[in-house]
Amino acid sequence: MDYQWLKTFAIAAETLNFRKASEKLMLSQPSVTVHIRLLEEQLGTKLFDRVNNRVTLTDAGKVFYPEAIRLTNDVDASVNRMHAFSQGYRRNWTIAISPLMAETILPYFLRTFIERHRDIEISIRIEESEVIEQLVDNGDVHLGISALDSKFKNIDSTHMYEDPILFIMPTDQYDEETGPPIHIPDVLRKNYLLTHHHPVFWDDLLVTLNKQIPGIRTMKVTQAHIAKRFIQEGLGVSFLPHSIVRRELMEGRLMQPHFDLFDLPTVSTYILVKKKGNLEEEFMNEIAKFYFG
């Protein structure tokens, strides 16, 4: 059974429009029609009904569609494996990591880790912490780096480090010695508070803040690196983990005023694995060598 016939059928079944299928496949419309006819002849059944220029799947077409998807996916996977093999890869290894962790952890050591494992094709999936554990449990990834601890009994969770939360605001024209004191309640009243870019601390922090400073205006920004950029552009203030703003604070692109309204929380980072092999152990040991706070 010709792979191209199957691919053509799958796209035509998705679009139910031979013209659109031809555009997606970069084939002529007559070629699409020929592929479908040849496939129908080989299967001995009609896959499409054509009435008044409308195309619909027959019952046989509906039954065959998932089979065509499975067959084309198998071929695509085999081709990808051979391409990887020709590039020197002998196995693949997939990591799921939250957007926040991807910006603070991976750049520090991933380059040297890859250099030591040239025979491994490493894939990085950027996923929210809330779904990483399920991906590990399903076997979709080999290891997860998450802001949330494990809830599943069969998942091994290792606490890697703690990160203090800091109050961050845009820089002003003053230096630390000559500038007037910063009154935190005034800053919070005059600026939008960018919230919910971390899955752990925001609900409790907002309750505590509103008790002391009612009426704070908030703006939900669900990605920490976007919140950081917004602060640099003067669009608001926020509470962010030290690891994600450390460089900007050192370079004077963000400011951390003294915050004394209450004690700010710390957040943790966890590595989640279902099966801890040699590669997972090495990866975890590499992370443990770095300080991210």
Other residues' Cβ atoms within 10 Å of the Cβ of residue 92: 13
Residue 227, sorted as left (phi over 0), alpha (psi -120 to 50) or beta, turns out to be: alpha
pLDDT at 293: 46
Domain ranges of the chain: 3-86, 91-161+268-288, 163-265
Other residues' Cβ atoms within 10 Å of the Cβ of residue 73: 11
Structure tokens at 202: 């925001």
Average pLDDT, the chain: 85
User: Residue 139's pLDDT band (boundaries 50, 70, 90)?
Assistant: confident
39-89 confidence digits (pLDDT tens): 888 888 998 888 877 888 899 989 989 988 888 887 776 666 565 555 554
> For residue 135, which of 116, 148, 120 has the smallest C-alpha distance?
148
CB 268 within 8 A of CB 100: no
187-225 confidence digits (pLDDT tens): 999 999 999 999 889 999 999 999 989 889 999 998 888
| CATH number for the domain formed by residue range(s) 3-86 | 1.10.10.10
218-261 confidence digits (pLDDT tens): 999 988 889 999 999 999 999 999 988 988 998 989 999 999 99
CA pair distance 123, 121, nearest whole angstrom: 7
- Whether the model clears a pTM of 0.75, i.e. scores above it, the answer is no
163-265 CATH fold: D-Maltodextrin-Binding Protein; domain 2 (3.40.190)
CATH number for domain 91-161+268-288, candidates 3.40.190.10, 3.30.70.60, 3.40.430.10, 3.40.50.12780: 3.40.190.10
Three-state SS string across 44-90, please? CCCCEEEECCEEEECHHHHHHHHHHHHHHHHHHHHHHHHHHHHCCCC
Q: Which residues contact 186 (CB under 8 A, 6 or more apart)?
A: none
**Do the first three CATH levels of 91-161+268-288 and 163-265 match, i.e. the same topology?**
yes
> For residue 169, which of 265, 224, 249 has the smallest C-alpha distance?
249
Other residues' Cβ atoms within 10 Å of the Cβ of residue 121: 20
The gap from C-alpha 132 to its chain's centroid, in whole angstroms, comes to 9
Q: Is 27 helix (H, G, I), strand (E, B) or coil?
A: coil
Q: Can you point out the beta strands (E) in the chain? A: 48-51, 54-57, 91-97, 120-126, 143-146, 156-168, 193-195, 218-220, 237-241, 266-273
Phi, psi dihedral angles at 251 (to 5 degrees):
-90, 0
